[in-house]
Amino acid sequence: ENVLKVKTTYKEVHPKTIVNKITSPDVGMEYSMNPYQGCEHGCIYCYARNTHEYWGYGPGLDFESRILIKRNAARLLEAQIRKKSWQARPIVLSGNTDCYQPAEKKFKITRECLEVFLKYRHPVGIITKNALVLRDLDLLKALNKHGLVAVHISITSLSEKTRRLLEPRTATIQRRLNTVQTLSRHGIPVNVMMAPIIPSINSHEILNMAKAVSEAGALSMGHTMVRLNGAIGHIFYDWIKKNMPDRANKVMRQIESCHGGNLNDSRFGIRMRGEGKIANQINDLIKLSKKKYFKDKKLPKLNTELHANYKDDQLKLF
């Protein structure tokens, strides 16, 4: 409850670069960009909390309430993809913080970036748990006309009670399912991310989740296993002791059992899926759910062929 009472403050910043090269082999993206630093959604498990310390803030309430607005994000993006040396590869909004968090309603940085992607016919992926993405349906439809966009909607649980505890400032589950449905109805490819899966909190929902999102129109479903790196372990433990005291120690032990006895895990190839009995059971359920509900569905690859010509055309104007 205290999370919701903290006053959010915004600060404009002007970074020198915005597109990040992803070196991790198990993330599933090559490039990402984050229009915002910090995230008002306040998801207790968020791995990006630790990154707020780089900017001089704490990973707890600071991460949720002190939001940095990267005002020059669209200009930096345009400069990057106009370079002659740039080879078009999908850039994902966002690798860390949600590009459609509440700040976007006011500042519209994400929308400005989508306009750049459309102008240069450049492929873009979007990861969000906010229904605000539908505000930009006009741009998404225009991008999708050329095979340039896919949207990844994060849905951690089908339970509103669980959602309110884990993700206090996010869109309701029904609004997210409706978002999947609306995007799909307009032909925009949608993947749902059940991320993270937390033993004894949402791990029992895998099959029901797959069924619900498939029926809503999602073409695929991905997942990650919860891991609590750095300060997040302490933040999560404090949270679960207050909100789920009856199972707090059990959940913490189960998380550790999925990561070789640790809460954190940095091992490529293992950290996202986990290991051990519980992780294997979860991964088996994921495989079963995909086979049952996504057998004849597939998320299309984004079009990387158009950008070079549009970049050349735009450069000729200068």
Residue-wise DSSP of the chain: -HHHHSPPEEEEE--S--EEE---TTSS-SEEE-SEES-TT--TT-GGGGGGGGGT--SSHHHHHEEEEETTHHHHHHHHHTSTT-----EEE-SSS-TTSTHHHHH-HHHHHHHHHHHTT--EEEEES-GGGGGGHHHHHHHHTTT-EEEEEE---S-HHHHHHH-TTSPPHHHHHHHHHHHHHTT--EEEEEEEE-TTTTGGGHHHHHHHHHHHT-SEEEEEE----TTHHHHHHHHHHHH-TTTHHHHHHHHHHTTTT-S----TTTTTT--SHHHHHHHHHHHHHHHHHSTT--PPPPP-SSHHHHHHHHHTT-
Residue 312 confidence (pLDDT): 67
- Please check whether residue 130 lies inside any domain of the structure: yes
Residue 313 confidence (pLDDT): 62
Domain count for the chain, please give it: 1
Rounded to whole angstroms, the Cα distance separating 39 from 164 reads: 16
252 within 8 A of 240, measured Cβ to Cβ: yes
Rounded to whole angstroms, the Cα distance separating 57 from 196 reads: 24
pLDDT digits (tens, 9 = 90+) for 198-223: 999 999 999 999 999 999 999 999 99
- Please check whether residue 16 lies inside any domain of the structure: yes
Give the residue from 139, 236, 155, 228 showing the smallest Cα distance to 188: 139
97 within 8 A of 39, measured Cβ to Cβ: yes
Residue 28 confidence (pLDDT): 84
- Please check whether residue 280 lies inside any domain of the structure: no
- The DSSP bridge pattern shows strands 19-21 and 31-33 to be antiparallel
Locate tokens 């006309």: which residue?
Answer: 145
- Please check whether residue 151 lies inside any domain of the structure: yes
Q: Which domain holds residue 156?
A: 2-225
User: How many CB atoms are located within 10 Å of the residue 266 CB?
Assistant: 11
Residue 5 confidence (pLDDT): 64
61 within 8 A of 38, measured Cβ to Cβ: no
User: How many CB atoms are located within 10 Å of the residue 80 CB?
Assistant: 17
CATH of residue 67's domain is 3.20.20.70
Residue 269 confidence (pLDDT): 87
- Please check whether residue 230 lies inside any domain of the structure: no
- Please check whether residue 276 lies inside any domain of the structure: no
Locate tokens 């078009």: which residue?
Answer: 88
Rounded to whole angstroms, the Cα distance separating 7 from 126 reads: 27
Residue 316 confidence (pLDDT): 53
Residue 2 confidence (pLDDT): 40
Residues (pLDDT < 70) of the chain are 1-5, 312-318
Residue 3 confidence (pLDDT): 45
Q: What's this model's pTM, rounded to 2 decimal places?
A: 0.94
- Please check whether residue 44 lies inside any domain of the structure: yes
- Please check whether residue 76 lies inside any domain of the structure: yes
